[in-house]
Amino acid sequence: MADAADKARTALRDADVDDKDIATQSASVYPEYAYGSDGTQTLKGYRATQNFAVTLRDTDKAGSVVDAVVAASGDAVQINSVTPVLIDTTDATNDAREKAIDNAKHKAEDYADLLDVDLGDVLVVTEVSAPSGVTPILARDSGMVEGGAKTQIDLGVQEVSVTVEVRWALSN
């Protein structure tokens, strides 16, 4: 485990991934046994695994980083998934919030018109927060055969949403 993990870390560092963006998520060691036909078990040895979560800030290099880790570590590495995550959501969230408020106001104006009343002052504004899910994009190492195509990671578009509840006073 240590040799493969060191090779993976070296490949990540060589790809300019900062140490703060490489985090061990789990490490485990467990025994492996051979079972005889007479029901006996014999300790064969131990198997160790270590899982990393790696943040790639230069998304254009994601595929080449995956290829580099697989090339460096060989059969000892398994890429479980590549998951796009928007690291700084501030601008996207502010934009989504503005659109949510505009949408709420337009709906309130429509209701006021349908009810033949005037839209009054805002009484309550509540932002409803919910975790946003991301869909894992699996990275396959089939392109790593000699002369094969390079791995391409397609990140697509991520959606940031804000839900608001706004209550207005209505007057005749």
Listing DSSP states for 33-81 in one string gives: EEE-TTS-EEEEEEEEEEEEEE--S-GGGHHHHHHHHHHHHGGG-----
CA angle 151, 86, 9 (to 5 degrees): 50
* Residue 138 included in any domain: no
Identity of the amino acid at 160: V
Q: Are residues 74 and 89 in the same domain?
A: no
Q: What is the mean pLDDT of residues 157-167?
A: 85
Angle between helices 2-14 and 62-73 (to 10 degrees): 150
Are both 32 and 107 inside the same structural domain? no
Pair (89, 70) in one structural domain? no
CB 160 within 8 A of CB 92: yes
Phi, psi of 19 (to 5 degrees): -55, -35
Of 46-55, 56-65, 79-88, the least confident: 79-88
In a domain, 139, yes or no: no
Residue 37 maps to which CATH number?
3.30.70.2970
Answer with the residue of higher pLDDT: 35 or 90: 35
Spatial contact of 137 and 82, defined as CB atoms under 8 Å apart: yes
The torsion angles phi and psi of 92, rounded to 5 degrees, stand at -65, -40
Same domain, 111 and 39: no
What is the extent of the structural domain holding 94? Answer: 85-133+156-172
State whether 72 and 90 are in the same domain. Answer: no
Same domain, 57 and 102: no
Could you tell me if 13 and 41 lie in one domain? yes
- 53 and 91 together in one domain: no
Same structural domain for residues 4 and 74?
Answer: yes
Q: What band does 134 get if pLDDT is binned at 50, 70 and 90?
A: very low
Whole-angstrom distance, CA of residue 24 vs CA of residue 3 = 15
Q: Are residues 63 and 107 in the same domain?
A: no
Q: Would residue 145 count as lying in a domain? A: no
Number of domains present in the structure of the chain: 2
- The CB-side HSE value for 151 (13 A sphere, CA atoms) comes to 25
Residues 93 and 164 in one domain: yes
Banded pLDDT at 129 (limits 50, 70, 90): low
Q: Could you tell me if residue 42 is inside a domain?
A: yes
Please tell me whether the overall predicted TM-score, pTM, comes out greater than 0.85 for this model. Answer: no
6 and 40 both lie in a single domain: yes
pLDDT at site 144: 45
Q: Are 51 and 4 in contact (CB under 8 A)?
A: no
